[in-house]
């Protein structure tokens, strides 16, 4: 199924692969998604919706086997403090539901901050904008498509 995220990549002439997987509503973790799409969790990047005290909403993209370092994101985004938004705010802000959030073709263009480990891989996986489908693409193409800022924003759990 073509999603808005895939259509955006088509428009930009970016090569990608769509990889579908069976969704378990009770387990939407990136580690589970990684196993289902046959990739290591560190190559499957999850997108978190955050809000800073100075610059408002932004998206943080971190490896599936790590957690977001809020202090590092605050520094990189020029905020004094930042936190993830409440789950009830995710869909109104992005147009995407939990487990399907992506920085590609969202409801609004928010600043995107991606953990620099993205560049370690030939390909990475990100949500296609729906539960049950991942987009596999080159990291540089992803960064270009979302106009991301790279930095160290993840830390081991």
Across all residues in the chain, what is the average pLDDT? 96
In the chain, where are the structural domains located? 4-156
Q: Which CATH number fits domain 4-156: 3.90.960.10, 3.40.50.970, 3.30.379.10, 3.40.50.920?
A: 3.90.960.10
Does residue 1 surpass a pLDDT of 80?
no
pLDDT tens per residue, range 46-81: 999 999 999 999 999 999 999 999 999 999 999 999
Residue with tokens 């995107």: 112
Whether residue 44 contacts residue 34, with contact meaning beta carbons closer than 8 Å, is answered with: yes
Q: What is the DSSP string of 101-120?
A: --SSS-SS---EEEEGGGGG
Beta-carbon contacts of 10 under 8 Å, excluding residues fewer than 6 positions away, are: 2
Q: How confident is the model at residue 95 (pLDDT cuts 50, 70, 90)?
A: very high
pLDDT digits (tens, 9 = 90+) for 29-51: 999 999 999 999 999 999 999 99
What is the pTM assigned to this prediction? 0.95
- Exposed, middle or buried by CB within 10 Å (0-12, 13-18, 19+), for 78? exposed
């Amino acid at each position: 199924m073509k999603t808005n995220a895939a259509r955006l990549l088509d428009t930009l002439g970016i090569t990608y692969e769509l990889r579908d997987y069976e969704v378990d509503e009770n387990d939407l973790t990136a580690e589970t998604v990684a196993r289902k799409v046959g990739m290591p969790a560190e190559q499957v990047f999850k997108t978190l919706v955050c809000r800073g005290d100075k610059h408002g909403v932004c998206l943080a993209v971190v490896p599936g086997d790590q957690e977001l370092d809020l202090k590092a994101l605050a520094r990189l985004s020029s905020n004094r403090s930042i936190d993830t938004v409440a789950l009830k705010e995710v869909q109104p802000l992005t147009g995407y539901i939990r487990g399907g959030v992506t920085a590609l073709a969202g409801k609004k263009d928010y600043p995107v901050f991606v953990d620099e480990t993205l560049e370690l891989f030939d390909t990475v996986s990100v949500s296609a904008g729906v539960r049950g489908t991942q987009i596999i693409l080159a990291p540089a193409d992803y960064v270009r498509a979302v106009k991301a800022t790279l930095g160290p924003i993840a830390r081991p759990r």
